């Protein structure tokens, strides 16, 4: 997988995600922060889907 770029969180977004997860664990997450956490999680799912599609396309191209 070194010939294409995968979608990943920026360092800043990764740190924000960790902060929100820590707040959720300590039960101090506000409703607004919970929405933010859900949005980041959804973005992570989208990135996973796109990365899987990229990897699959790469595999298909290798076998052609």
Average pLDDT over residues 9-21: 98
> Using the 8-state DSSP alphabet, how is residue 26 labeled?
T
pTM (2 decimals)?
Answer: 0.81
The predicted structure's pLDDT at residue 1: 47
Q: What percent of the chain has pLDDT over 90?
A: 73
Tokens describing residue 2? 């070194």
Residue 21: Cβ-neighbour burial (10 angstroms; 0-12, 13-18, 19+): middle
For 19-44, the pLDDT digits (tens) are 999 999 999 999 999 999 999 999 99
Euclidean distance between CA atoms 20 and 33, whole angstroms: 7
């Amino acid at each position: 997988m070194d010939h294409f770029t995968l979608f990943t969180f920026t360092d800043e977004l990764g740190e924000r995600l960790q902060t929100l997860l820590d707040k959720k664990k300590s039960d101090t997450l506000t409703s607004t922060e919970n929405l933010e956490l859900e949005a980041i999680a959804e973005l992570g799912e989208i990135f996973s889907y796109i990365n899987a599609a990229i990897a699959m396309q790469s595999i298909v191209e290798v076998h052609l």
